[in-house]
Amino acid sequence: MDLTTAIILLFVGSAVFLTGMKLMSSGLQKSTGRGVKLLFKKTQNSRLAGVGIGAAVTALIQSSAATAVMAVGFINAGVMTVFQGLSVILGAFLGTTITGVLVSLSSFSISTYLMLFSFVGVVMMFFNNKVIKNIGEIFAGLGILFFGLEALKQGFHYETITQFCSDMFEAVSFPPLLLLIGIIVTALVQSSSATTGIVIVMVGTGALSFEKGLYLAIGATIGTVITTILATIGGTANAKRTALLALFNRVAMGIVGTVVVWIAGPYISEFFISVFGKDNLPMALAVFTIVYNLVSLAIFLPLLKPFVKLGERLIKDKDQEKLKAALKFIDDKMLGQPSVAMMQVTKEIEHMAELARINLGLGYQMMMDLDLSKAEELSDREAQIDYINNAITEFLIALSPKVDKDDEALIGGYFHVINDIERIGDHGANFLGLATRMKEDGLAFSDTARGEFAGMMDLVDHMYSLAMEAFADHNRVDLEQLTALEEQSDMMKERLESAHYNRLKQQTCRVELSPFYSSLASELERVADHLTNIGYSFISPTGDDPGKRA
């Protein structure tokens, strides 16, 4: 065999090896796709379960990159947390080492027979049955993979090439440089399995020393994270946190591993060679990658929760920060001063009520005008109302044990008040949904209907002012007016519905408008009920009018 043939074998062998890996991985993913998704949903919050599932899935589909991308997809969709996703990805790093073991089998005489899988697989791929075709793809990929490895081995057996590789790596024997080469090659081919596989072949043919192979293999574990990082582009903050922490894990362990091998390389090499023998260096290197990843897991897994918190500090959720900015008054630092904290809560509730009032008016106006230009503004404000509701709830829970008895009852009422305000905000959001459907269906209220609703909306708006005054000042005079207006709202709803049905009988109104007309009247009447509850909150913890229960 001449030099040209040997070089061709190296290039073709690499191409065939990568093609075999891709084909086998594709077949495995098709065969296990549904099962993989079910496994991912069972991660729960157990780090060991996540690692086990990540390792199992990667061993099945032969691609840590594919497992990591799926995990990122689940995180982006909000199905998995950073904790769960990171557990799965760490498991994937372990699971990918199975490819190294598979490649190391090429050093045994059995590898020649394993190439026959390519023939069996290709025959199976001609069947119409989908399951058989997928299994055939796996077999074909496996056989082609070993064929590529055999071609690589033949190329490296050429003495000139072996000597060239040996001299080249002798020139770049500086450990950090070898680590960098492993990172770059893996980042380019986007497969640590491919890089490790080629390194294993080179070690087995003598083109690369076992010790230098350790550095390249460690570098490959870092370069594989590039796929995870690329998958998070345009993703959520949680997905980016997961990728950052995965990169941190690989880089930190890569540095530690490089330092350890740099210091104790000869002893590590001697140990693995003594266990597996000089004739079985590929298997020795494959087992080293397994041990390396197991040690990495043992170090990093107990620290998973603190690192997740670190990720939250390093990468801020812009939407979350935006929502936090909606809080104007409450501050956990004031929990040590209950009287001040109670005043803060009162002010924050008033602020929340004002936001709900704006949305109520905006949603109502959208139903009247069918102008949806401020739909996003309403939705953003609704998210702020929900966030403030949760924040006040948590603040009140923390404050409850610290207040005196008089304020205990007030806090009980506050829980009901923020619930009523949150429901008012929901009504505003419901109006947006109704307006959207009306516009899509080409429907609009008549001038008569608008006039009728204007009167009811004015009444509700007046009730809003009275309710908040009663809430802030504990004004019983306002409550008397509030009760009278609430009774008017009930009667007004009945009059509006009666007038609407009369128009339907006279065929002066479109029947398609009935659901929208009734919904608007009913929701405005419910808003009146919520406002009454808010006004009476300082008298009754549940916020309703005690007289109504008598």
Cβ neighbours, 10 Å, residue 277: 11
User: Residue 342 has what pLDDT?
Assistant: 86
pLDDT at 550: 32
pLDDT in the model for residue 77: 61
User: What's the pLDDT at 369?
Assistant: 92
Q: What is the pLDDT of residues 245-254, one digit of tens each?
A: 888 988 999 9
Q: Is the pLDDT of residue 7 over 60?
A: yes
64-110 pLDDT, tens digit each: 776 777 777 777 766 678 888 888 888 888 887 887 777 776 655 55
CA–CA separation, 145 and 17 (whole Å) = 4
The Cα 513–Cα 517 span in angstroms is 6
Residue pLDDT, tens place only, 496-515: 888 888 887 877 778 888 88
Q: Is the pLDDT higher at 470 or at 459?
A: 459
Specify the range with the lowest mean pLDDT, choosing from 5-19, 177-191, 216-230, 333-347.
Answer: 5-19
Model pLDDT for residues 446-468, shown as the tens digit of each residue:
888 888 899 999 999 999 999 99
Mean pLDDT for all residues in the chain: 81
- Residue 329's φ and ψ, nearest 5 degrees, are -125, -50
**Whose structure tokens read 């002798």?**
170
Three-state secondary-structure class, residue 533: helix
Q: Confirm if 252 and 239 have CB atoms less than 8 A apart.
A: no
Q: Could you tell me the pLDDT band of residue 15, with boundaries at 50, 70 and 90?
A: confident
Question: Residue 10 pLDDT more than 70?
Answer: yes
pLDDT for res 192:
78
Q: Is the pLDDT of residue 360 over 90?
A: yes
Contact by Cβ (8 Å): 398, 530: no
The answer to pTM > 0.75 is no
- What would the mean pLDDT of 393-399 be, rounded to a whole number? 89
Average pLDDT on 114-118 reads 77
Q: Which range is least confidently modeled, 151-160, 229-238, 529-538?
A: 151-160
Question: What residues have CB less than 8 Å from 484, skipping those under 6 apart?
Answer: none
The owner of tokens 């929208």 is 516
pLDDT at 424 over 90: yes
Which of the given ranges, 180-189, 255-264, 471-480, has the highest pLDDT on average?
A: 255-264
Which of the listed CATH numbers 1.10.287.3510, 1.20.58.220, 3.30.365.10, 1.10.760.10 matches domain 324-549? 1.20.58.220
**Predicted local distance difference test score (pLDDT) of residue 223:** 86
- C-alpha 108/C-alpha 92 separation (Å) is 27
Residue 468, SS3?
helix
- pLDDT band, very low/low/confident/very high, at 417 (cuts 50, 70, 90): very high
Q: What percent of the chain has pLDDT over 70?
A: 83
The label of the residue with tokens 């909150």 reads 537
> How far is residue 179's CA from residue 186's CA, in Å, rounded to a whole number?
11
Domain boundaries of the chain, sorted by first residue: 3-316, 324-549
Q: HEC states along 368-388?
A: HHCCCCCHHHHHHHHHHHHHH
Query: CB count, 10 Å around CB of 316?
Result: 12
Distances (CA, A) of 9 to 151, 185, 203, 479, 544: 6, 19, 17, 91, 85
Mean pLDDT of 41-61: 73
Taking 50 as the threshold, does the pLDDT of residue 472 lie above it?
yes
Phi, psi (rounded to 5 degrees) for 263: -80, -45
